[in-house]
Structure 1
Amino acid sequence: MRLVCISDTHSMHRQVKVPDGDILIHAGDCLGVGTLEELEDLDNWFSEQPHRHKILIAGNHDWCLQDEPAEAEALIRNAIYLRDTGTEIEGLKFWGSPWTPVFYDWAFNLARGPTIAERWQQIPADTDVLVTHGPPAGILDQVITASDSQSVGCDDLARRLEQLALKMHVFGHIHESYGQQTVNNCVFINASTCTSSYNPLHPPVVVDL
């Protein structure tokens, strides 16, 4: 099964050349300022994509999905929206969650420690593909500046992953750490489409499972 992964398109999805595949996964920050109008346009774009299945989670820029969940979720007709929920597609079990550790005052932020760890404990033990907006600590989570780099991923998520036997973990959030890495037979993908300067230049990541 071919999975095509994108994230952090920030309402520039129409500038992204998306290859064909079986499942298109969007790991959050799909919107620019987080309006219902942006979300409706995204859903229309999903309808134009050839993939048999599409999966979407929210990210910290996707305000309408946090603040107006009923109205926003009703607009998603052409993708499976996961918010601490799962779905099974052709034998693969997916789980999606939007939360990231508190950073300033963004959407879907939770305090590090027990508060966010409680969300990660909801991930079922038999999950094959995990989709979160942010990375686990230590994997494709480096924020890079002119003077240094810093690991900003979620330690609590990393600890939960040690208890799981995932095939694949898709995320974004940290634009500078776009890429993929295999650890303990799990393929980790930072699918951030936008660069650190918010240009949608990173191509979708394609993985065959």
Structure 2
Amino acid sequence: MNTSSTARIFPIYDPKNPPEHPGEEWTRFVCISDTHSHTHYNVPPGDVLLHAGDLSSWGSYPQLAKTVNWLRTLPHPVKVVVAGNHDLCLDEEVELYKSSVVTAAKDMMRNEAALQAGIHYLEYDSAEVTVQNGRTWHFYGSPAAPKYASGSFQYRDIKQGDKIYNRIPSSTEILLTHTPPYGIHDLCKKGTHVGCRSLASHLQSDQLANCRLHVFGHIHEAFGVSIDTLPGGLERVSVNAAIRRSDFPIIVDLRN
């Protein structure tokens, strides 16, 4: 466990006996990513479930539906979700699936059944969500990642990245992106940093001075969590939640 006055982080714990919720002055976020149609994970309860993309394995509608049906069964009253580069049937620009399939996939993420299950699907969107303790949190979600192979929601250069991340409101407290920022939990198997430089620059700017939690995935081998103090004194937790079979969903408690 890593703790401070405003955050408690649990990357490892007994899944049969997860750490006790710290009380109404805190909000518990449970962070996962890159589940790729697998639904065997032991996900602990919490106030908010955050999923940072790659819901499906190879982007088909049935694979996406498997994950969405699983998410609906989880006990978290709020579930904030973005897509990733594997979620092809959610990206109309890929042109792999008919427009009717893309429309149906997007509807599945946002229909009444999803809303009743507490799912908030963000695709370059923001949302204000009030959790059970009465705290309203400001979320923003982006599915994008720098292009490196065929896939969905990808951009080619810093200019395109800047256009995407300029859209993030300054009120954002909880940020979900599929890609990591450059230099933060983005070290790949080859030993190089492969995160997004544009996103890293925006995270260091006044635009995101209110961001307390940034959850991402994409680079599976860089799974992990850290906490840093920003120049203004605000603490920010960064989580690569690209979960593998041996990993636990990362628990982050933030003081309201």
TM range, smaller chain? over 0.9
What code does the residue aligned with 2:237 have? V
TM-score, normalised by the number of residues in structure 1: 0.92
What code does the residue aligned with 1:56 have? V
For the pair 1:70 / 2:87, whether they are aligned, the reply is: no
Unaligned runs of at least 5 residues, structure 1: 195-199
Cα separation, 1, equivalents of 2:150 and 2:66: 25
- Deviations 1:29-58 (CA, angstroms, capped at 9, x unpaired): 110111111122212111211100111100
TM-score, normalised by the number of residues in structure 2: 0.76
Deviation larger for 126-135 or 69-78: 69-78
Cα separation, 2, equivalents of 1:177 and 1:104: 19
SS in 2 for 1:151: coil
**Correspondence for 2:242:** 192
SS in 1 for 2:105: helix
Determine if contact 1:39/1:75 at 8 Å carries over to the other structure: no
**Correspondence for 1:83:** 123
- Deviations 1:127-159 (CA, angstroms, capped at 9, x unpaired): 0010000100010000023xxx00000000011
**Correspondence for 1:150:** 192
Determine if contact 1:57/1:96 at 8 Å carries over to the other structure: yes
For the pair 1:159 / 2:209, whether they are aligned, the reply is: no
Which one of the candidate residues 84, 95, 102 is aligned to 1:59?
84
Unaligned runs of at least 5 residues, structure 2: 1-26, 93-100, 131-135
Determine if contact 1:110/1:116 at 8 Å carries over to the other structure: yes
- Deviations 1:160-204 (CA, angstroms, capped at 9, x unpaired): 11121210100000111101011222100000112xxxxx32110
**Correspondence for 1:27:** 52
SS in 2 for 1:75: helix
For the pair 1:102 / 2:147, whether they are aligned, the reply is: yes
**Correspondence for 2:214:** 169
Cα separation, 1, equivalents of 2:167 and 2:141: 10
**Correspondence for 2:162:** 117
Note the aligned Cα RMSD (angstroms).
1.1
**Which has the larger Rg?**
2
Cα separation, 2, equivalents of 1:37 and 1:188: 31
- Deviations 1:63-91 (CA, angstroms, capped at 9, x unpaired): 00113432111112241100000111221
- Structure 1 residue runs of 4+, over 2 Å off? none
What code does the residue aligned with 1:104 have? A
Determine if contact 1:112/1:154 at 8 Å carries over to the other structure: no
SS in 1 for 2:57: coil
Cα separation, 1, equivalents of 2:153 and 2:236: 26
For the pair 1:48 / 2:73, whether they are aligned, the reply is: yes
**Correspondence for 1:137:** 182
What code does the residue aligned with 1:109 have? Q
What code does the residue aligned with 2:36 have? H
Deviation larger for 61-70 or 115-124: 61-70
